[in-house]
Amino acid sequence: MIIAISGCQTKQESTQLKSAELQHLFSERTVESYNLINGSTSFTYYGKDGQVSQKRYWENRKGKWRISDNMICLQMAHKSESCRAVYLEGDRYYKYRADDQGQPQKIIRYRQFLTGNRI
């Protein structure tokens, strides 16, 4: 007997990561990020000392990172710091920011978290 169910949708479970989870996920790892807005991919190493190195658009960038109030904060050279929430949805991690109307907007999908500096 085969039963087919069509038109059934399930809501994706979404959980915001806490500070300790973010620290564990990012610290001393090279992270591949896919920008959902412009389609670019970057690789970022999050050092234990708060330094960050990034390869994006075939260029190297440097900056700082930290965890604050359940958000990951980045400040690249000559830019202001931005802090964003990261959510686990199913088995994927996403970074969000507020859009022009103050609504959460998914902006980054983290593809992989590799141990050590791979840049």
User: For residue 117, what are the contacts with CB-CB under 8 A and spacing of at least 6?
Assistant: 28, 30, 45, 47, 53
Q: Percent of the chain having pLDDT more than 70?
A: 90
pLDDT at 32: 98
Q: What is the pTM of this model?
A: 0.86
Residue 3 lies in a domain: no
Q: Which residue has the higher pLDDT, 32 or 12?
A: 32
Residue 119 lies in a domain: no
Residue 104 lies in a domain: yes
Alpha helices in the chain (DSSP H): 19-26
Provide the number of structural domains found in the chain: 1
pLDDT at 6: 44
85, burial (CB in 10 Å: exposed 0-12, middle 13-18, buried 19+): middle
pLDDT band of 13, cuts 50, 70, 90: confident
pLDDT band of 67, cuts 50, 70, 90: very high
Residue 5 lies in a domain: no
8 A C-beta contact, residue 27 and residue 116: no
Range of the domain at 46: 14-114
